[in-house]
Amino acid sequence: MTSLLAGLGTGLALIVAIGAQNAFVLRQGLRREHVGLVVAVCALSDLVLIGVGVTGLGRVVDAVPWFVDAARWGGAAFLAGYAVLAARRALSSSGEALEVGAGAASSDADRAPGVLKVRSSATRVAATALALTWLNPHVYLDTVVLLGSVAASHGGSRLWFAVGAMTASVLWFGGLGYGARHLGRWLRDARAWRILDGVIACLVLVLAVTLVVGG
């Protein structure tokens, strides 16, 4: 039980930090668009990475330094592109911004007048979630290396530690994705969504710069 709780606490401490992945899950939750798919992709990815770290394969990351560098530059490029798209939505005065705002409505009756609901394809959403997860080098350093190292300190109970960390990931992504819909009432108009996209653009761009400078 001690190892399980330790894994739960450590997992939450690492995953709760605001990042591009969490921002994307939050945005999809607010739009109520493919939420289950996004939560599943992010949670399952974490389960795989945690399993890899706990089984000791995290040493591979330490043994192959170019892998981290490649992930760092690839992740920075992707995040920069994602920031540009979010900035375009934030600066849009019509069309896309209005369509995005409709996602917060739970029904046609709740939808703001003149707002159309346009959904992104499941394939595109899943691809974005995968990229935001697997192109982030911090995922490997934190989830694989750090969690793997902490788990090793629990000896024979390291599998319970892994269960705790995996539980933290599932609870966090599920809560973030499905809990976001309760914020929909404050994000019914296009201006609120443009502000949200502006914040996301700035956040993701800072993360991209941090990846490059931090290397």
10-residue stretch averages of pLDDT, the chain, 215 residues long: 78 67 86 92 92 72 66 73 81 50 41 48 91 82 72 76 90 89 67 77 78 69
Please give the structure tokens belonging to residue 93. Answer: 């005065």
Tell me, what amino acid is at 143? T
Please give the structure tokens belonging to residue 197. Answer: 């996209």
pLDDT at 113: 38
Tell me, what amino acid is at 170? V
Domain boundaries, the chain: 2-214
pLDDT at 189: 66
Residue 158 and residue 151 in contact, taking contact as beta carbons nearer than 8 Å:
yes
- For the entire predicted model, the pTM comes to 0.65
d(CA 151, CA 158): 5
Q: How many CB atoms lie within 10 A of CB 36?
A: 11
Looking up tokens 């109970």 gives 157
Tell me, what amino acid is at 184? G
Cα Rg, the chain, nearest whole Å:
18
pLDDT at 104: 39
pLDDT at 173: 92
